[in-house]
Amino acid sequence: MSAANQLAALIANMFATGLLDDQFQQLQMLQDPSAPNFVSEVVTLFCQDGERIIGELAKQLDKPSVDFDRVDAFVHQLKGSSASVGALKVKNTCIQFCELCQQKSKDGCLKTLETVRINFYELRGKFQTMLQLERQVNGFPPNN
């Protein structure tokens, strides 16, 4: 199977499994010859931000007395960046996370952080594969 076909199949699978929503298609439409790396730049930033925010959430929830307003602020950041790239599962988990922050449920927040982490890293792995395939399709050597 060609890299282009693998890429199309991967993206179709990400939609079919609910990892991505229509917002990702909107992003793809913004990519044109004047901004050929637009999607990969947005996806890369999302992955870097997400990792940083998840680390910060883990730190905040590890404290003996949790500042739920701070946790909520970080969850909102992650929800916003997830919405902007079309990361549906991550965004939906963030919505639940916000509700648990309002309830000041440390246990609920810790469980939901684990779900966010699983969804985020699943998506990040697929995004990394997608970026490698795009590089092959565009004739660039894979960057490892």
Domains of the chain: 3-137 (1.20.120.160)
What pLDDT, on the 0 to 100 scale, is given for residue 41? Answer: 94
Stronger pLDDT, 135 or 50, i.e. the higher one: 50
Q: Rounded to whole angstroms, how far apart are CA atoms 80 and 129?
A: 23
Contact 82, 94 (CB under 8 A): yes
Dihedral (CA of 46, 51, 56, 58) sign = positive
Q: Which helix (H) or strand (E) holds 33?
A: none
Confidence of residue 143 (pLDDT cuts 50, 70, 90): low
**C-alpha triplet 126, 142, 19: angle, nearest 5°:** 10
Whether this prediction's pTM lies above 0.85 is answered by: yes
The predicted-structure confidence for 10-60, as pLDDT tens digits, reads as follows: 999 999 999 999 999 999 999 888 888 899 999 999 999 999 999 999 999
